[in-house]
Structure 1
Amino acid sequence: MGAGAEEFAIRVDMIIDGFIDRIEAARDIINLASPVIKAEDGPRSVVQKFLSQLTYLTDEELEQFFALFQKSGEKSEGNDLPWQLRLLNSVWEEFKGKPWTSKLATDLHTMLRRPSRIDFLLESTVVSAVTSFEVLFSSLIASFLKVSPQALEAMSREKEREFSLRDLKGLSSIEEAVDLAISRRVDELMFGSVAEWRKFCIDKLNIKFEDLCSDWPAVQEIFQRRHVLVHAGGVASHRYVASVASAGRSVDVKVGKKLNTSEIYVHQTLDAIMSFGILLASSIGMKFAKEHESTILSSLHKLTYTRLLAKQDELVKHLCTAGEKIAVGYDDQLLFKVNGWIALKRTDPKAVALEMKQWDTSALEDRYKLAKMCLASQNDEALGLMKKMHSAESLSSEDVLEWPLFEELRNMPDYVEWSKNISLPFGISSILGKEFYLNPRTKTLHTEDCRLLGSSIKVGSLADYDPGKYHLCSICDPFPKQRKSIERAGEQSAAASTGASGDSRGPKGHSPGKPPAID
């Protein structure tokens, strides 16, 4: 593909970035709004607001009403009604015969039947997550058809001619005709079901959705739930129950009953959809821009590492489980395995302990032996090997201070005392009017307030150096907007230095917890 492959790889990278931003925005909204809405919509808050509107009741009657509210929260044997109905029934019985009883009951019923705002937020987030995936998928297919004319030609339009006379009159070039044809193909595909999308990817791309998910039935359920939320208000339909059951997932709701979309479910949905989308885009990028597959995998490793730092362990487990299936070599598989194990250890230490009993690192490099020691909680041995590797410069100071693999070691007094003596030689550089610090050995740029800073040496401006040789600190993230351009410059520099292979990565260029360096 040549230049077309490079353009395709860049386009895929941009699609992934936009997708991640949308999913993370949805996650931020949930995290920010959920506590506020829960407090506002809690039974006590709702009733207190309601009481302030009951100006036609005396103080004594208001106290009686509040007592009924408190009692409605207490379930009694043989009474399984929701608290709202229990309160409504109690109010009617208590104030029967009063001139305002009917108005009170009506006002109370109006207040209680209002849909839960937290449910609305959570359900909307599920719909938004699936919509974000649809945007990603349609963009990927459009980009694929753009660089694969034979695939576009093979997708014949059986129901009608490609272009009408009116269409032809409105087209000024072949490029416009191709863009219109691609738009129509994508629209036709997107109007289909997930099963049809899956078939398209198998037939045209040789990619199976189930290979890109740690739990494909769970992802199928998300798409089915989105359909129910949009078209049936979240009430389980025959189609939903049958589809989920046929996918091999247990169904815990009956037809006609409201689906429970909890906050836990929503966060699981965001992790599953985000992982699925990223891995699908990465797989398509690697398949149709083969000379850039190492770059795409490197980006995937970097993403996994940053999510480890953010302690998004469920997302990391999704990415790593499926990431192993698209890895192009044993070293990449090990990177995904180790990152996945780090996340798993945080949530299920016993499961990791069993895995470590089976993992033979005798023929592997020291970094993997160190990883096994840490994951197996052999902390004294691990600290000894860490010191040895750091002294030999096969383990960077950034790794020692930052890598989540060493979380347990950082609680050891010996580690705390030893790490105090670690200092990093930095030079000072300038870009966009800001000052940055450079580690000459690792070629990593940091901000002035980064916690990894040691003593500094002035070495001139960034303009004196090849930007392709620099890495950016993942702790302080010196200039995120420039990150992509600098990394791409590094990739081009690496490609130029390695000739036709386009792969400068060797076994010693990897660290199990961090992406391969571009040298």
Structure 2
Amino acid sequence: MINKHILDFNENLIGLRDFVELIDPFLNEKLEEHDQHLQPLILSAMLKEVLTNPQDFEQEDKEKYTEFQQKLTKDLEAKYSEIPDVIIDKKEDGEQKKYSIKIANTNSEVSKHLDNVAKNRSHIELLYTNSLISTLSSVEWFFSQLLHFFYDKHPESAGVQKRTMTLTELKSFGSIEDAEKYLIDVKIDEILRGNFESWLNLLKTELSLGLGYLNDIMDELIEVYQRRNLFVHNGGIVNSIYLSKVNEKERNGISLNDKLTVDKEYLDNAICKLQKAFILIGAELWKKLSPEDTSRGDILGDIVYENLLHSRWEICEGLCYFSLKDSQIDPVDKVIAQINYWLCKKETGEYKSIEKEINKADFSDKKEIFQLGLFALRGETEKILETLPIVLETNQTNIERIEQFPLLREFRETEEYKTFKKESKFFKEKNKEVITPNKVEKE
């Protein structure tokens, strides 16, 4: 059952990411549609501002910028009966210069575009903010499922024996088991009302999990939770609780009463951190309760592969490392985890730390598909070309996967691969047209 919870949690986050990817381009397109009408106004005003200090330019550059500014002004005069005023406010903060721009709403068309820009920016901010809140709702659901799974197996750990119930409450249940489930539900509800730190403390003390994989990202996770709390309970305005709970490094430049926002980069990083953390928590609990279950490697491997396709190296590295340390993982799954772990290190600029290990590795006793992976990590193009036909001939993989494998990305960019595609019978077979009664298809 725990494997289903892990898969469902992973699918929830995939669905959330897909939703953001679907809506985000539409909103940004709308923003750009109106923003492009304001950009010439802003650019013209900024050029006027910088040209007030002619000593900052070479004569040739000054003439070029002046000519461009004059052209912009001419275009704006042709477009508007009265060019709206653009006010540039410059402030110096130490060595940094900060600019704020205001456009006077003297023109109804400009006013319309300003309103729509503000509206679309608000929609984009809401998309990211609500997606962050939804992500943490999925995390809470998953965490509750893990607790139910554990306490259903070990009800004594929930402390239900020490709880008291009224006679009226007891009469409302059909059996002792129903009463026990109710008390477990109460216990879990109380846990979920606590903060993130209390969750982790419970996982360590009552469930006896190690959680060592959270050490490097703990401060970030706490900040994500506290930021979510601000949006839910305080309109995104920083309060003293946020400042006291969040590590200074994670709130650099954030002060009391600041209004926080969520952008796409922040949202993606938060989802990645939470996905990695809680799938690993689920996997560790699974390992603790069912150490002999060898399907763990297969489940984690599928999750890793999907995230490799999207270059989410941090998630993949964490899950692969867990699999490598799991003694009950199937040997084949362990080899796959090893190759993917090395790939993550390589893609994140840590190849030097594993180079000796990779060069020392001997996969001659393993299937050709694994040898192909090792050769790809080493960048041994000739050996890849020798092994690739064997892999395809013996159906260890197919052309679609070869075109998709993140591991072969560098190889696919080589001239040797392009030549292979032109000359290989495997690609010719793939592109061969098959005539059917209704249409022409490609195999």
Assess same fold via TM > 0.5: yes
Residues 134-283 of structure 1: pairs in structure 2 closer than 5 A? 134-152=140-158, 154=159, 161-211=163-213, 215-245=217-247, 249=250, 251-283=252-284
1:22 aligns with 2:22: no
Give the drift of 1:219. Answer: 2.0
Counterparts of 1:327 and 1:370, CA distance in 2: 25
The one-letter amino acid of 2:8's match is G
Instruction: Give the counterpart letter for 1:63 in structure 2.
Output: Y
Residue 87 in structure 1 maps to residue 103 in structure 2: yes
Number of residue equivalences: 382
C-alpha distance in 2, partners of 1:289/1:320? 19
Q: 1: CA distance between counterparts of 2:353 and 2:16?
A: 36
2:421 maps to: 416
Query: Against the structure 1 CA distance between its residues 245 and 20, is the aligned structure 2 distance closer, same or farther, given a 3 Å change threshold?
Result: same
**Cα distance, 1:27 vs. partner?**
0.9
CA contact (8 A) 2:297 2:330 kept: no
Give the fraction of aligned pairs with identical amino acids, expressed as a percent: 19
Structure 2 residue identity aligned to 1:338: I
Q: 184-193 or 415-424, which moves further after superposition?
A: 415-424
Q: Which residue of 1 aligns with 2:340?
A: 339
Q: 1:308 touches 1:316 (CA, 8 Å); kept in 2?
A: yes
Mapping for residues 6-85 of structure 1, pairs under 5 Å: 11-42=1-32, 44=34, 63=80, 67-68=83-84, 71=86, 80=98, 82-83=100-101
Give the distance between the partners of 1:409 and 1:109, measured in 2 at CA.
48
Is 1:359 the counterpart of 2:358? The answer is yes
SS at match of 2:252: coil
Distance 2:20 2:391 in 1: 43
Cα RMSD for the two superposed structures: 4.1
* Contact 1:370 1:386 (C-alpha < 8 Å) held by counterparts: yes
* Alpha-carbon separation, structure 2, partners of 1:42 and 1:117: 13
Kept after mapping to 2: 8 A contact 1:224/1:244: yes
CA displacement at 1:308 relative to structure 2 = 2.4
**Aligned-partner Cα distance in 1 for 2:387–2:37:** 62
C-alpha deviation, 1:178, in angstroms: 1.5
Deviations 1:262-299 (A, max 9, x none): 1111111122222222222222222212332x112211
> Which residue of structure 2 aligns with residue 131 of structure 1?
137
Structure 1 stretch 321-330 or stretch 236-245: which is displaced more?
Answer: 321-330
Question: Could you tell me how far 1:141 is from its partner in structure 2?
Answer: 0.5
Shift of 1:387: 5.0
Question: Paired residue for 1:295?
Answer: 295
Letter in 2 for 1:398: N
2:398 is equivalent to residue 398 of structure 1 = yes
- The answer as to whether partners of 1:374 and 1:405 remain within 8 angstroms in 2 is yes
- Alignment CA distance shift 1:108-1:301 (3 Å): closer
Alignment partner, residue 442 of structure 1: none
**Closer/same/farther in 2, CA of residues 122 and 202 from structure 1, 3 Å limit:** same
1:376 — aligned with what? 378
Separation in 1, partners of 2:84, 2:240: 40
1:370: Cα distance to partner? Answer: 4.3
Alpha-carbon distance change, 321 to 219 in structure 1, aligned in 2, over 3 angstroms = farther
CA spacing shift, 1:25–1:330, aligned 2, 3 Å: closer
Rounded to whole Å, the distance in 2 between the matches of 1:190 and 1:416 is: 55
1:382–1:155 distance in 2 versus 1, CA, 3 Å: farther
After superposition, the Cα gap between the structure-2 partners of 1:318 and 1:126, relative to the gap in structure 1 and judged at 3 Å, is: farther
CA pair 403-107 structure 1, distance change in 2 beyond 3 A? closer
Q: Which moved more, 1:323-332 or 1:11-20?
A: 323-332
Counterpart residue number, 1:445: none
| Deviation string, structure 1 residues 119-161 (Cα, Å, up to 9, x no partner) | 1111111111111000000011012111223323x4665xxx4
Give the Å deviation of 1:239. 2.4
Q: CA deviation at 1:353?
A: 5.0
**SS of residue matched to 2:181:** helix
| Structure-2-length-normalised TM-score | 0.72
Structure with more helix by fraction:
2
Distance 1:155 1:215 in 2: 34
Q: 1:231 to 1:322 in 2, by over 3 A?
A: farther
User: Partner amino acid for 2:358?
Assistant: W
Question: What is the SS of the residue equivalent to 1:116?
Answer: helix
Q: Distance in 1 between matches of 2:176 and 2:184?
A: 12
Name the amino acid aligned to 2:278.
Answer: G
Q: CA deviation at 1:386?
A: 4.5
CA distance in 1, matches of 2:33, 2:226: 31
1:489 aligned partner: none
Q: Is the 8 A contact 2:35 2:113 kept in 1?
A: no
In the aligned structure 2, how far is the partner of 1:165 from the partner of 1:47?
A: 71
CA deviations over 1:93-120 (Å, ceiling 9, x no partner): xx6xxxxx9x999999988876711111
Map 1:470-485 → 2, pairs under 5 A: none
Distance in 2, matches of 1:231 and 1:305, equals 37
Q: Which amino acid aligns with 1:340?
A: Y
* Alignment TM-score, normalising by the size of structure 1: 0.62
1:42-65 Cα deviation digits (max 9, x unpaired): 5835989xxxxxxxxxxx9x9356
Q: Which amino acid aligns with 1:372?
A: L
Deviations 1:296-333 (A, max 9, x none): 22111122123324554454344335554556469555
Tell me how far apart the structure 1 counterparts of residues 15 and 221 of structure 2 sit (CA, whole Å).
20
Change (3 A) 1:305 1:116: same
Change (3 A) 1:32 1:421: closer
Asked if structure 1 preserves the Cα contact closer than 8 Å seen for 2:273 and 2:315, the reply is yes
Name stretches of at least 5 consecutive residues in structure 1 with no aligned partner. Answer: 1-10, 49-59, 96-100, 425-448, 454-519
**Cross-structure match for 1:407:** 409
**8 A contact 1:307–1:315 mirrored in 2:** yes
Give the distance between the partners of 1:396 and 1:120, measured in 2 at CA.
Answer: 46
Q: Is the 8 A contact 1:39 1:45 kept in 2?
A: no
